[in-house]
RNA sequence: CGGGGCGUAGCGCAGUUUGGCUAGCGCACCUGCCUUGGGAGCAGGGGGUCGGAGGUUCAAAUCCUCUCGCCCCGACCA
């Protein structure tokens, strides 16, 4: 491909709207343009990257026996009403009516439609298992699109669905996907972790996410430095740092205006872990007092699983319910339901005295208060691994894929059933598995860039190699360059040929920005010694090679890079 | 949906506080010359509903009201 003929609108300056590195570079290097919030145009370079990623997705999905299909993007409401999601999902679903006033929606995901198809076509256990996938546009009217193509309102997703006759079958389909995902992300050149994750509204028992570590990520993941424990903070367990039992006597202490743990801790010169944070929350059942250690944060999702939806109490509610000013709540002597994090089960602590401007030292669980014990804290850096007790670290990460065991949630509501060996009607057992190719591209950039631009992993780069004649008005330069371009193409390589009449500096800058992994530079200087240069984008390392043997050398270098 | 910020040429910005001549700068773009190993130089040139609507005023990019768009933080994320 000739550079001069291709739409590659590089920019020297960064558009002010971009924040994330991948977003800035994709705009600057001419990969994407924004149409509106969360809606992006893929320019030729960007689309080539997407196609290469999708190729890998298809190869690995086909390899585990999944079959590609294509489902509509516009769905009749009826199917979504049957699973309840027409009502469960609120503004995030794009809805419309057809000309006969029938309710329709734009697909945000395709469990409903895949299950509908299974219900229609699968009759017998002999038809199972099945795995169907598609690479299809999804639409979600996101509350807050962000970070360029990382979170958009319209996006392409590889989504696959497994249909099995029993749980063993589901386990197998699930594992096949997990293995395929490892291959896919490795082939795409990403650093990633498979982590335990929340099943969310998908329902079902087991779910994992594939996470590419990056500061641009929206999720925090917890990783054990020693064993394989890895989990999204949304579900992560952890063992808090152990405390000494300080053997305090039970006594009231004066703490004027010291409301927060931080303030009281500084005032009393006692570390935050020796405090009990007492939070009054209003659940549908009424007020609930929740206790976590002073150095911990309440994990709202964990609590929601126990008491349902809740909100924090207002200052007035605290006063009328507990008879104490906010900031001085203690766990002692209340008649309402009390839940506490398990880490508070031993030791003695400081907490509010249920009396303005006073705290109490020496509070002992079981003696001065009782509670229902649960895991209610958010795992944090420095906590210990629930599996092996080594220390935990926390990283930001981009969710690039997920796998869910759905069970029979969708098959039951859409009547996707089969007859088993005994002629008994059973619901199909399902799994659902997603990958966001645009997120793979963004994560690859986030993980591979320098001050000059993108450094693509060779598997998903828009071209295999860029040929750069420095002076297009020099006959010898162009002879050598044209012939190399032709031969590289003939050898099945995808080549970008910078035929523009630009100064060398411009070409080098653009080449670095665009990030094709291997550059071949043809300049008069080297040609005098009958040499050209091969440059590796990632290291900036250059090597002179004789013109005569150039083709073989270049091909070698490209293959070496591809196998890394 | 709550909080904050920003809309002036394709991109980056100045001008807005304190209204005042023809709305400016850098880059990009076009023409010519020149140049060719890290975003060259010189000369000439094109490009603007100052996000939009209404208002105040002799006079509005600038002040007032409404509105639209975009970004960031939070909530949310099936």
Nucleotide closest in space to A471 (CA vs C1'): B36
Which residues is A276 bridged to in the sheet?
A293
CB A394 within 8 A of CB A221: yes
CA-nearest of A478, A494, A445, A431 to A160 is: A431
3-state secondary structure of A315: helix
Task: Look at the domain A463-562 and name its fold.
Answer: Rossmann fold (3.40.50)
Which range among A15-19, A90-94, A165-169 shows the weakest confidence by mean pLDDT?
A: A15-19
The reply to whether A297 Cβ lies less than 7 angstroms from strand B is no
CB A323 within 8 A of CB A299: no
Query: Which ipTM was obtained for this model?
Result: 0.95
pLDDT band with cut points at 50, 70 and 90 for residue A317: confident
The reply to whether A110 Cβ lies less than 7 angstroms from strand B is no
Mean pLDDT calculated for residue range A420-444: 97
The reply to whether A37 Cβ lies less than 7 angstroms from strand B is yes
Which tens digit of pLDDT belongs to each residue from A390-417?
999 999 999 999 999 999 999 999 999 9
Omega within 30 of 0 (cis) for the link into A524: no
Percent of chain A at pLDDT > 70 equals 99
Strands A392-407 and A349-352: unpaired
Q: State the average pLDDT for chain A.
A: 94
pLDDT band with cut points at 50, 70 and 90 for residue A204: low
What long-range pairs does A26-34 form, CB within 8 A, spacing at least 24?
Answer: A26/A148, A26/A149, A26/A441, A26/A442, A26/A445, A27/A148, A28/A453, A28/A513, A29/A453, A29/A454, A29/A513, A29/A514, A29/A515, A30/A514, A31/A462, A32/A148, A32/A149, A34/A148
The reply to whether A151 Cβ lies less than 7 angstroms from strand B is yes
Burial of A406: CB neighbours in 10 Å, binned 0-12, 13-18, 19+: buried
Tokens 């990632």 label which residue?
A538
CB A336 within 8 A of CB A303: no
Task: Look at the domain A45-224+394-445 and name its fold.
Answer: BirA Bifunctional Protein; domain 2 (3.30.930)
A251-374 CATH: 3.90.960.10
CB A362 within 8 A of CB A382: no
pTM value > 0.90: yes
pLDDT band with cut points at 50, 70 and 90 for residue A202: low
DSSP string of A499-553?
-----HHHHHHHHHHHT-SEEEEE-HHHHTTTEEEEEETTT--EEEEEGGGHHHH
A76 token code pair: 């009749």
pLDDT value at residue A326: 85
Instruction: Measure A36 CA to B56 C1' (Å).
Output: 35
Strand B, CB < 7 A, residues 216-235 of A: 218
CA-CA distance, A15 to A505, in Å (whole number)? Answer: 22
DSSP string of A226-283?
SSS-EEETTT---BPPP--------EEEE-TT--SHHHHHHHHT--GGGBEEEEEEEE
CA-CA distance, A284 to A288, in Å (whole number)? Answer: 10
Nucleotide closest in space to A34 (CA vs C1'): B70
Cα atoms in the Cβ-side hemisphere of radius 13 Å centred on A180: 26
Buried b (16+ CB within 10 A) or exposed e, A83-101: bebbeebeeebbeeeeeee
Specify the DSSP class assigned to residue A84. Answer: T
A514 token code pair: 């665009």
CA-nearest of A507, A550, A552, A558 to A532 is: A550
pLDDT band with cut points at 50, 70 and 90 for residue A201: low
pLDDT band with cut points at 50, 70 and 90 for residue A262: confident
pLDDT value at residue A553: 96
Nucleotide closest in space to A540 (CA vs C1'): B38
CA-nearest of A136, A137, A141, A138 to A94 is: A141
Tokens 């927060």 label which residue?
A260
Structural domain boundaries in chain A: 45-224+394-445, 251-374, 463-562
């Amino acid at each position: 491909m000739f550079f001069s003929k291709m739409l590659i609108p590089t920019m020297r300056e960064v558009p002010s709207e971009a924040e994330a590195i991948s977003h800035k570079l994709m705009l600057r290097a001419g990969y994407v343009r924004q149409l509106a919030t969360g809606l992006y145009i893929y320019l030729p370079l960007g689309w080539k990257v997407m196609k290469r990623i999708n190729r890998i997705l298809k190869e690995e999905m086909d390899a585990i026996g999944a079959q590609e299909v294509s489902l509509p993007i516009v769905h009749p409401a009826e199917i979504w009403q049957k699973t309840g999601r027409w009502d469960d999902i609120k503004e995030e679903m794009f809805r419309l009516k057809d000309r006969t006033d029938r309710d329709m929606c734009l697909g945000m995901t395709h469990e409903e439609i895949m299950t509908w198809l299974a219900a229609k076509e699968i009759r017998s256990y002999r038809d199972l298992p099945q795995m169907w996938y598609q690479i299809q546009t999804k639409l979600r009217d996101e509350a807050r699109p962000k970070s360029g193509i990382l979170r958009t309102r319209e996006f392409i997703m590889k989504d696959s669905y497994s249909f099995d006759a029993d749980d063993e079958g589901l386990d197998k389909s699930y594992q096949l996907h997990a293995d395929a995902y490892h291959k896919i992300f490795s082939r795409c050149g990403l650093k990633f972790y498979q982590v335990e994750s929340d099943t969310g509204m998908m329902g079902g028992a087991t779910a994992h996410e594939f996470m590419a570590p990056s500061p641009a990520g929206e999720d925090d993941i917890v990783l054990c430095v020693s064993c394989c424990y890895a989990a999204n903070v949304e579900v992560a367990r952890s063992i808090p740092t152990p405390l000494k039992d300080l053997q305090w006597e039970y006594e009231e202490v004066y703490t004027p205006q010291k409301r927060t743990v931080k303030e009281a801790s500084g005032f009393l010169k006692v570390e935050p872990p020796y405090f009990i944070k007492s939070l009054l929350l209003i659940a549908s059942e009424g007020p609930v007092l929740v206790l976590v250690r002073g150095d911990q944060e309440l994990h709202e999702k964990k609590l929601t699983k126990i008491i349902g939806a809740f909100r924090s109490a207002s200052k007035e509610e605290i006063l009328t319910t507990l008879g104490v000013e906010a900031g001085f709540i203690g766990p002692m002597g209340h008649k309402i339901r009390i839940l506490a994090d398990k880490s508070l089960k031993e030791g003695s602590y400081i907490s509010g005295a249920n009396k303005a401007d006073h705290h109490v030292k020496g509070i002992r669980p079981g003696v001065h208060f009782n509670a229902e014990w649960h895991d209610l804290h958010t795992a944090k850096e420095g906590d210990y691994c629930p599996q092996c007790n080594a220390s935990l670290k926390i990283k930001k990460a981009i969710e690039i894929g997920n796998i869910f065991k759905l069970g029979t949630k969708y098959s039951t509501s859409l009547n996707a059933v089969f007859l088993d060996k005994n002629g008994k009607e059973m619901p199909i057992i399902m799994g659902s598995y997603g990958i966001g190719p645009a997120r793979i591209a963004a994560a690859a950039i986030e993980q591979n860039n320098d001050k000059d631009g993108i450094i693509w992993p060779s598997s998903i780069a828009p071209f295999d190699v860029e040929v750069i004649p420095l002076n297009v008005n020099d006959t010898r330069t162009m002879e050598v360059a044209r012939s190399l371009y032709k031969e590289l193409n003939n050898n099945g390589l995808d080549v970008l040929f910078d035929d523009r009449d630009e100064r060398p500096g411009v070409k080098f800058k653009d080449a670095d920005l665009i990030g094709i992994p291997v550059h071949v530079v043809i300049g008069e200087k080297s040609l005098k010694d009958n040499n050209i240069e091969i440059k590796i984008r990632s290291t900036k390392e250059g090597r002179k090679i004789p013109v005569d043997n150039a083709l073989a050398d270049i091909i070698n270098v490209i293959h070496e890079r591809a196998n890394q």
